[in-house]
Amino acid sequence: MIEHVAEPGWIDVEHYLTDVVVRPDPAHKRALTSAAEAGMPQIEVAPNAGKLLKMLVQLSGAKHVLEIGTLAGFSSIWMAQGLPDDGRLVTCEYLQKHADVARANVDAAGVGHKVDIRVGAALDTLPTLVGEESFDFVFIDADKENDANYLDWAIRLGRPGTVIVIDNVIWDGSILEPSRDEVNAPGIVKALEMLGQDPRLDATAIQTVGSKGWDGFAIARVR
């Protein structure tokens, strides 16, 4: 497992942008605090990335969002805030204890009526969504080993025009040397190759630096 190290300057800039531009509300701060109090891993997206997800949901005109990887509901809150009041976000969380924290957080944020938390392995949950309304926007931020499997499901559960975002696609540069993290990096590489080669997708990927170290995200559109 790679240790993601952030340079102090990166973090200072992120904090500045968060305070001056992003301006999280108390609901976002509550989600971060509750996660720490519950002993959950501090692997949620940074606030500027959460706000980006909210804006992408709005810009895409999404009404039906799928999230793979809930944790404490920090990104869920951002995306649900970007949905219209009759919108719906289905989020998949592996652990019940994490789902319980997330439920309290989305409810406290006033977006609980939009959020449907499904507990269990996502690869078991996703097939149960077949036949429901297609998703307009999908955010993938779970176990990296299954990124390509999640991407395939995102396409299958989407429609032409569906926007897909995958987090953590740089993984401290290990995509160039997957042996540095034999658990996660190969799965990320497989998903990146799929993004570039699958005829169903048009995609790009962006590097980022910040409190999460050297990382990035991919964004795709279903053709």
**Residue 22 lies inside a defined structural domain of this protein:** yes
**Residue 128 lies inside a defined structural domain of this protein:** yes
Query: What is the rounded CA–CA span in Å between residue 143 and residue 190?
Result: 13
Bridge partners (DSSP) of residue 8 are none
List Cα–Cα distances, 56 to 59, 153, 163, in angstroms.
5, 20, 9
Mean predicted confidence (pLDDT) in 13-28: 96
Res. 41 pLDDT band, cuts 50 70 90: confident
CB 162 within 8 A of CB 187: no
**Residue 1 lies inside a defined structural domain of this protein:** no
Unique residue bearing structure tokens 């920090």 = 74
pLDDT one-digit tens code per residue, 125-149? 999 999 999 999 999 999 999 999 9
Residues of the chain with pLDDT > 90, as a percent, come to 93
Q: Model pTM greater than 0.95?
A: yes
pLDDT one-digit tens code per residue, 82-97? 999 999 999 999 999 9
Query: What is the rounded CA–CA span in Å between residue 208 and residue 17?
Result: 14
**Residue 124 lies inside a defined structural domain of this protein:** yes
Query: What is the rounded CA–CA span in Å between residue 208 and residue 64?
Result: 27
Q: What is the pLDDT of residue 4?
A: 86
Q: What is the pLDDT of residue 92?
A: 98
Reading the block at residue 101, the tokens are 């924290």
Containing structural domain, residue 180: 8-222
Write a three-state SS string for the chain: CCCCCCCHHHHHHHHHHHHHHHCCCHHHHHHHHHHHHCCCCCCCCCHHHHHHHHHHHHHHCCCEEEEECCCCCHHHHHHHHHCCCCCEEEEEECCHHHHHHHHHHHHHCCCHHHEEEEECCHHHHHHHHCCCCCCCEEEECCCHHHHHHHHHHHHHHCCCCCEEEEECCCHHHHHHCHHHHCCCHHHHHHHHHHHHHCCCEEEEEEEEEECCEEEEEEEEEEC
Q: From the CB of residue 157, how many other CB atoms can be counted at a distance below 10 Å?
A: 21
CB 57 within 8 A of CB 137: yes
CATH number at residue 203: 3.40.50.150
What total number of domains does the chain contain? 1
Q: What is the pLDDT of residue 132?
A: 92
Mean predicted confidence (pLDDT) in 74-78: 98
**Residue 64 lies inside a defined structural domain of this protein:** yes
Mean predicted confidence (pLDDT) in 102-128: 98
**Residue 2 lies inside a defined structural domain of this protein:** no
> What phi and psi, each to the nearest 5 degrees, are found at residue 73?
90, 15
Res. 71 pLDDT band, cuts 50 70 90: very high
Res. 53 pLDDT band, cuts 50 70 90: very high
Q: What is the pLDDT of residue 187?
A: 98
Q: Using the predicted structure, report yes or no on whether residue 150 has a pLDDT greater than 90.
A: yes
**Residue 153 lies inside a defined structural domain of this protein:** yes
**Residue 98 lies inside a defined structural domain of this protein:** yes
**Size of the chain, expressed as the number of residues it contains:** 223
Beta strand pairing call for 115-119 and 201-210: unpaired
Q: What is the pLDDT of residue 42?
A: 84
Query: What is the rounded CA–CA span in Å between residue 45 and residue 168?
Result: 9
pLDDT one-digit tens code per residue, 1-13? 787 889 999 999 9
Mean predicted confidence (pLDDT) in 37-50: 92
